[in-house]
Amino acid sequence: MTEDPIQELESPSLATRSEFQATGATVSLVGDADMDAIQPLGAYLSRLHSAAMERKCPSIAIDMHELRFINSSCLKQFVIWVTKVQDLGAGNRYTIVFKPNPERPTQRWSLTALKALAEDVVIIDA
Our separate counts of H helices and E strands in the chain read 3, 5
Residue 3 inside a domain? The answer is no
Angle between helices 38-54 and 72-86 (to 10 degrees): 20
Give the domain extent around 94: 14-124
What confidence score (pLDDT) does residue 1 get?
44
Residue 74 inside a domain? The answer is yes
**67-96 residue pLDDT tens:** 999 999 999 999 999 999 999 988 899 999
CATH of the domain at 100: 3.30.750.24
What confidence score (pLDDT) does residue 22 get?
86
What value does the mean pLDDT take over residues 5-21?
93
Q: 89 — alpha (psi -120 to 50), left (phi > 0) or beta?
A: left
What value does the mean pLDDT take over residues 13-18?
97
Q: What's the domain count of the chain?
A: 1
